[in-house]
Structure 1
């Protein structure tokens, strides 16, 4: 596992919070937005807890598609071994200049989500409880300059 070295964690968190997220269920892409409830998703696939996790671009450093696909295969093997229900998902920048494949996992414990995020050197993951807004979990201590963004949990 790599240690994350970020110049400005607060800016990174703001970018993650502003990103677009979607999960694919039976061919339909359902949008997820940090800070908003996932009403359509929860009606379609009710679970106690949800998490979006990716293995792409560890430590928030761009990697080749081949390296990202290899990391994704390892993540899939871990999720399968744990018996966790999942659906394909992705994250992307509003203007289409960045995209990452990932998985929406159901009924996963928050501590396990954090463990997997750290195992795959992710700076942040999404996690929330049914009926509550989608939250961003930054897997690092809260920086002193972090303000606003009530939908972000800093888990150092």
Structure 2
């Protein structure tokens, strides 16, 4: 248990530094990590995020740089991005039909205001879990966070061109 909390402390430190670099106050997210607990927080941190772009699939990992994605962002003239789902609110498993409907609604909302919206999949490294998601280039972090709140998500993955992908816990 002590190791789990130590890993979580390292996670909080990394997230705090990366969010501050993006101009985001890390304190609410760090509090959210403590509320969901270290096991759930670490599960989010080890998730792989596959972005299905028109010409390739790019896998993002929290805390890691993504130079291939940066090239696409430069081409699209976008600085910020997010990876978001509407599935399984607050990590509570819903049936496939309910998740599909939630995803359909989120996709419609995202496409109303954003030009670069692509399908994605969040998945465990072991492959025993996955969630349909969206990768959105050019979305404002506040808009992404607001959608995460509306769709009752514990976290989203965000980033800025030239920087690492990072979890924003809600």
TM-score by length of 1: 0.80
1:12 aligns with: 40
Mind listing any 5+ residue stretches in structure 2 that lack a counterpart? Answer: 1-31
Q: How far 1:9 sits from its partner (Å)?
A: 2.9
Residue 22 of structure 1 aligns to a residue whose secondary structure is strand
Structure 1 runs of 4+ with >4 Å offset: none
Question: Unpaired segments of 5 or more residues in structure 1?
Answer: 140-156
How many angstroms apart in 2 are the aligned matches of 1:113 and 1:52?
9
**Which has more helix, going by share of residues?**
2
Instruction: Report how many aligned residue pairs link the two structures.
Output: 135
Native 8 Å contact 2:61 2:165 kept in 1: yes
Structure 1 residue 42: deviation in Å? 1.6
> Matched residue of 2:103: which SS?
helix
* Cross-structure match for 1:92: 123
In the TM superposition, residue 44 of structure 1 has moved relative to its aligned partner by 2.7
Q: Give the RMSD, CA atoms, in angstroms.
A: 1.8
Q: What is the Cα deviation at residue 10 of structure 1?
A: 2.7
Q: Distance in 2 between matches of 1:49 and 1:11?
A: 28
Q: Distance in 2 between matches of 1:26 and 1:7?
A: 38
Residues 1:24 and 2:52 are matched in the alignment: yes
Q: Could you tell me which residue of structure 2 aligns to residue 42 of structure 1?
A: 70
